[in-house]
Amino acid sequence: MKKFILTIIFISSFVNLSNAQMWNQRLNGRNVWSLAKSPQPNVIYAGGLTGANSRIWKSSDLGFSWDTIYIGNGQTMWDIAFDQSSNIYVANFSNGLLKSTNNGTSFEVIPTSQFNNKNPQGVECGNAGYVYVSTSQGFFMSSNGGANWNESVSMVGNNCLPIVVDKDSSNIVYIGVTSAGGLGIGFYRSTDYGVTFGINLNPGKNGYGILQLPINGDLYMITTTSPYNFDKSTNKGLSWTTISNAPNAMRGIAWGVDGMFIGGNGGVFVSTSLGMSWSNFNFTSSATPMMYAFPYIYTGTSGTSGGVWITAWPLININQIGNSVPSKFELKQNYPNPFNPTTTIEFSLIRESNVKMSVYDTKGTEVSKLTEQKLGAGNYSVIFDGKGLNSGVYFYKIEADNFSEVKRMVLIK
């Protein structure tokens, strides 16, 4: 109960300070190189950068307090991923792939010999036991949870880094290639679960980070190659368009309810125009990993400002309508409906409740989380902005106390 109360206090404080973009430093003094949100509620993992920071940390309260759960022997924890059974995989540069089947209580080491003595840098999980590992000299795939590994002959010698499994087609795998020498740098795509990859589809740019939007499947790529193009693909990576230039070399990218975030040299930057323009998000220390876990944005840093930094997002404005207390829980029909691109949703609470409201597409995929917080009794309104969505039918759902209701709305562009 004490932890729950403290978490609510922290959430309230961050929401109140969100308009000022206030950041809170945790894991102070640690060099943090990777971040990942667990399928478990409120659980976050962080990985450290070499030396005394060669560790894995775990937080069970959305990043406000941390415990060391694994101490390495000096090598960077490059990336963290989870499979459908919530098993944890950590790419540990010189030691291999770490795997935990008990929420990080213990880890087994899958040695680099399983990857032809190549150093793991990225890890991602697909469906039905598929696990993918990128290394400094190639790409590997397992179809049985890491028991056996096969190397993709298409990528031998390439310095592979970020991995994304397509949200709609699990056979499609994307990877970015980066190299100080420039050989083969860019973006590659596989349609056979990572067995083979086609040609370089976005050449000449260090493919340091790839993001696929959950709302429509569009892909975005950041780079550390000047002039730091911010590129977009609307056809599963087959072609790319530069839509803006990032302010500097970028290494991390995240999407969080109507906001896109990139981190790198010069700090953290936000775009509310799907990458068309950028502004500094009141954070100027050099950043590497970026992550979103409602209602916060996270980044990891090294050096004198090292640690995990947290700030509130989204800056969604929930307005209370009047002072009267309604006679029933209610979710009203949005207006206007159809809409383009914004619409207003009103709801009523007869008593203080933990409220969750989200928007879903026709497949049941959550495309936007409007709120998840405690609200007092009253009538409320919230504006939903669908500018990042395709035209079509969507559903919005509220859960408050024992009340739950779903309504339909139509976006027409």
Q: In what order do the strands lie in the sheet with 131-135?
A: 120-125, 131-135, 138-142, 150-151
Of 312, 338, 361, which residue sits at a domain end?
312
Same domain, 76 and 181: yes
Same domain, 250 and 292: yes
Same domain, 292 and 362: no
Per the structure, the count of domains in the chain is 2
Give me the CATH number covering residue 199: 2.130.10.10
The encoded tokens of residue 176 equal 């970015």
Q: What is the DSSP letter of 15?
A: H
Burial class (CB in 10 A: 0-12, 13-18, 19+), 111: exposed
Same domain, 138 and 242: yes
Q: How far apart are the first and last CA of the chain?
A: 47
Cα 125 from chain centre: 14
Same domain, 249 and 350: no
* DSSP states along 80-102: EEE-TT--EEEEETTTEEEEESS
Give me the CATH number covering residue 326: 2.60.40.1930
Residues spanned by the domain of 87: 2-312
- φ, ψ dihedrals at 155, nearest 5°: -115, 10
Please report, in tens digits, the pLDDT of each residue of the chain (413 residues total).
333 333 333 333 333 333 335 798 999 999 999 999 999 888 999 999 999 999 999 999 889 899 999 999 999 999 999 999 999 999 999 999 999 999 999 999 999 999 999 999 999 999 999 999 999 999 999 999 999 999 999 999 999 999 999 999 999 999 999 986 666 999 999 999 999 999 999 999 999 999 999 888 999 999 999 999 999 999 999 999 999 999 999 999 999 877 899 999 999 999 989 999 999 999 999 999 999 987 789 999 999 899 999 987 765 568 889 888 899 999 999 999 999 999 999 999 999 888 889 899 999 988 887 887 778 899 999 988 887 788 999 999 999 999 999 999 999 98
Per the document, the length of the chain is: 413
